[in-house]
Structure formats: C-alpha cells, structure tokens
Amino acid sequence: MKALVDVNSFYASCEQVFRPDLWGRPVVVLSNNDGCIIAANREAKALGVPMWKPAFQVLPELEKHGVSIFSSNYPLYGDMSKRVMETLSTLTPALEVYSIDEAFLEVPETELDLQIYGQRLRQRVHQWTGLPVGVGIAPTKALTKVASRMAKRERERNKNVFVIADDETRAACLKDFQVEDIWGIGKRIAKRLHERQVHTAWDFIQLPDVWVRKELTVTGLRLKRELEGIPQLQLEVTPPAKQMIGTAKSVGKNLEDKKLIQEALAWYVAEVAVKLRKQNRIAGRMTVFLETNRFRPEDKQYSNQTQLKLPVPTNDTPALCHYAALGFERIFVPGYRYKKVGIWLSNLVVPSAVQQNLFDPDPQPRHTQLMQVMDRINTKYGKATLRTASAGFRREEWKLRQQQLSPRYTTCMDEIMEVGS
C-alpha cells in the first residue's frame, strides 16, 4: 500500500505556525514581487478570494475582510518542507518527495489498520512541525491521489485521512471523481473524454485498453491500470537529476533603463550559477528572456527569448554572465517598460563528463577555484557579497517588492521568534 501526504494550504500554513493569532483565520500568500495571489487557505477561499489575480486589484477588498496577506517567504517554506519530509521519513521505509508540500510513502507492511496509520502520520507531522496534513492511502499512486482528494472533500467526517483498500470503496470513489481531476489527465484530454461521454474516473476505466493505448499512449494505459488498483508506478526515492534550472523573476519596477535591466540579469545569473554549482552540474545551453508587464494593458507589450549553445558547458559565473549579456543584446529593444528578465539553463551534465573544446580551451582550472572561493565568501558573509561588476550596485532600484514579508524564523538568526516571559 502507498500513501500520499500533502500539507493543507502549505504556504499559508507555514505562516500560521509562527502566528497563532492567525489560526483559523483567512491567510493569502503573494507571488514573487507581490504580483498576484498564489496561495490561500481554506478560510480565505471561503471568502471567495480569487487566485492568480493581480494583487493590486484585490488587496483593498481583502484587507477589508480581515485577510492576512504575506509576501512569499521561500526560505521559510523550504525549511518547513524539509522538516515535514524528515518527520514523515521516521514513519516509512521509503519516501518520494513529490513536490514542496507532497510526498508519496510506502506503508510499512506491519501496519494493520491503515486509518490509524494515516492518523499517526497526521499527528506526528502536526506535533513536530505545526503543519496540518491530509493523507490518502491506496494500492497505487494514482489511487492515493484520488484518496487524498476524498480526505479533503469531507474533511470533518474523514478526519483528513481516506483509505481505498477494497474494490467497493474504489468503485464508489471513482464513480464520484471527475475525469479532469485524475492525476496526469490534462484539460485537453479531459475535453476529448467528455465528448466520448467519459465523465468520471469510473467511466475512464471502462474504456477498452486498445482505445486508451491508441489515444493516450502507454502512459494513459498505465494510468488506467493504476486506477484499476494494479500498481504500475514505483516510488522514485532518489529524485531524478534536474534537467533544467533557472529563474524567471520579475524586477520590482517597470524598467526602461537598459543598464539597470542588465544589472538585474547579471544578479539573477549569479544566483542560478550558485544553484548549478551546488548540484555539481555544468550547463551546455542557455535561454535568455525578457518581458514587459502583462498586467498593464495600457503599456506597449513586448516579450522575446533567445537560445545560446555554450561553446564549452560551464558553471562559471563570469562566463554565464558573458553569454547572458550576448543573448540579452539579441532580444533587447529600447522603448518598452520591462518587468521580467531571466535565464534558463539546460543540457545539464556533471563536470567530468565533458570533452574539452579544442578551439575554445576551457579556462576552468583557475575559475573553478575562483568560484569555490566566491561561494565560500558568499555563504559566510551573505548572498552576493562578492559578485561580478556587471551585477552593479543599484539593486535597490530594481529589486523585488516584498512588503509583507514574514521573518525567516528558522533559517536566519536575526529573524527568529521573539517570545515573552
């Protein structure tokens, strides 16, 4: 048996752990740069908070209703996520971290009462981290997704844990489950299925294998088996190496000044380069992109991106900045107010796997050392203490707006909780 554990309204719940005054109250979290609402807890959703709407359009209304608003505090969410995963791993032999707030677990064979096991998971995560989780238990991963939905649907009655262990329960759940909610079924496929009068997950598994295989490939067939209760997908205990890494960040203001955008870009490139080195990878390909503010229809709009193949794969900050600047020159057009700039790196490989290019010999040996020194200094004295000159000194003029930022309670000594006595 497998279990899917997910944290209820993860970002909002992380904020609430350290703010008992907000327990049971509506909370929303804004995206980077406070652009739009990306998370809302149950209480906020009950008020009809619209997700993904530009924040400035709805904030006054929210404040009137007493909704607490937070900028996204990723250092906090990242650490709390780790704590949840660590807690879960004390109760299972195998764990797959599926996303920042979800994990698949192998249920130990010694667990006889699955409901009680689910409650134990919930209880321990809540006790250790303060976060509320829901649990879906079933024989296959796809069915745990269904069970997890059920656990939420009748939260009070199911006590946030739902078990699909026998065929009757499975059938009842699938008949009550919309086809577009099935794990891995996208909008487009769901529409086609509806046209064929396939409305529920139960309808879906009545389809002939041949048809599913032909229309939805082997992946669709695997999904059908999973919903039939026959395991097809194993837990991925060691995460697959990342294929891409990057940042798509907004700048805090709508920028026209080319030099300033370039500085922001160099800053972001340096951040990505650090991530790359931490994962011991070098990149062979880079995408640079640039975008105006979509939420300001009154402005002239422009967006573009360009790809560069790097002569020698690298994770060297100056080299990556150099190529990013080349790409930027290709796509920058003056006269627009830009809002978003960033890069993606792909073709990631381990450094030893790379052949040197005869015509562009690698300056790495010395640069590798330089980067090590730079990373060490920046770990010790703070991010970007040492940086390339291209990143400049005017961060205040472009940095992200994060006006509602909560303290980094668990990762920064100067921001830990203050308590009375």
List contacts with another protein (CB under 8 A): 20-21, 79, 83, 86-87, 127-130, 278, 379-380, 409-411, 413, 416-421
Pure H helices in 257-389? 258-278, 317-331, 364-381
Answer whether 200's CB lies under 8 Å from 194's CB. Answer: no
Least Å distance, CB 313 to another protein, is: 23
- Other beta carbons within 10 Å of 381: 10
Least Å distance, CB 413 to another protein, is: 8
Q: Compute the distance between CA of residue 333 and CA of residue 250 in angstroms, rounded to an integer.
A: 18
Residue with Cβ nearer another protein (352 or 421): 421
DSSP, res 245:
E
Residue with Cβ nearer another protein (403 or 421): 421
CA nearest neighbour of 29 among 78, 90, 81, 71: 71
Cα 373 to the center of its chain, rounded Å: 30
Q: Compute the distance between CA of residue 148 and CA of residue 102 in angstroms, rounded to an integer.
A: 11
Q: Compute the distance between CA of residue 305 and CA of residue 307 in angstroms, rounded to an integer.
A: 7
Least Å distance, CB 20 to another protein, is: 4
Residue with Cβ nearer another protein (109 or 418): 418
Beta-carbon contacts of residue 164 (< 8 Å; ≥ 6 apart):
136, 137, 138, 139, 143, 146, 147, 150, 170, 173
Least Å distance, CB 411 to another protein, is: 7
Least Å distance, CB 410 to another protein, is: 5
Least Å distance, CB 74 to another protein, is: 15
Residue with Cβ nearer another protein (112 or 419): 419
Strand partners, 68: 27
Both tokens assigned to 105? 């677990």
Q: Compute the distance between CA of residue 269 and CA of residue 257 in angstroms, rounded to an integer.
A: 19
Residue with Cβ nearer another protein (99 or 421): 421
Least Å distance, CB 418 to another protein, is: 5
Residue with Cβ nearer another protein (24 or 311): 24
Least Å distance, CB 377 to another protein, is: 11
Residue with Cβ nearer another protein (192 or 278): 278
Across the beta sheet with 95-99, what order do the strands follow?
A: 95-99, 102-106, 2-7, 133-138, 161-163
Residue with Cβ nearer another protein (50 or 78): 78
